[in-house]
């Protein structure tokens, strides 16, 4: 993986899941979110939600957006 690039798909960490839990959608609707974690030494405790896509299903591939 290169900085700013996509990582391999994997289960959400507790940190990421806590951020995702704040996103209210409803029903069986899914969204894809783009979250950045700052580099070490740059306010590394602050995750940033920088984008999202709606109208997704749990079977949709993750792609860069």
- Where exactly are the structural domains of the chain? 1-65
pLDDT at position 17 over 70: yes
Under the banding of pLDDT at 50, 70 and 90, the label for residue 44 is low
- pLDDT over 90 percentage in the chain: 3
Please report which residue ranges of the chain form alpha helices under DSSP H: 14-20
Verdict on whether the full-model pTM lies above 0.75: no
Q: Is the pLDDT of residue 59 over 60?
A: yes
8 Å CB contact between 21 and 15: no
The tokens describing 2, both together, are 């290169």
Q: What is the pLDDT of residue 26?
A: 75
**Residue 32's closest CA among 23, 45, 44?**
23
Residue 62 has pLDDT above 60, yes or no: yes
pLDDT score at 32: 87
Tokens of 64: 């860069």
């Amino acid at each position: 993986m290169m900085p700013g690039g996509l990582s391999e798909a994997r289960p959400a960490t507790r940190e990421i899941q806590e951020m995702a839990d704040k996103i209210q959608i409803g029903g069986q609707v899914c969204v894809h979110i783009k979250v950045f974690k700052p580099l070490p030494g740059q306010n590394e405790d602050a995750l940033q939600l920088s984008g999202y896509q709606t109208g997704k299903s749990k079977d949709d591939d993750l792609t860069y957006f």
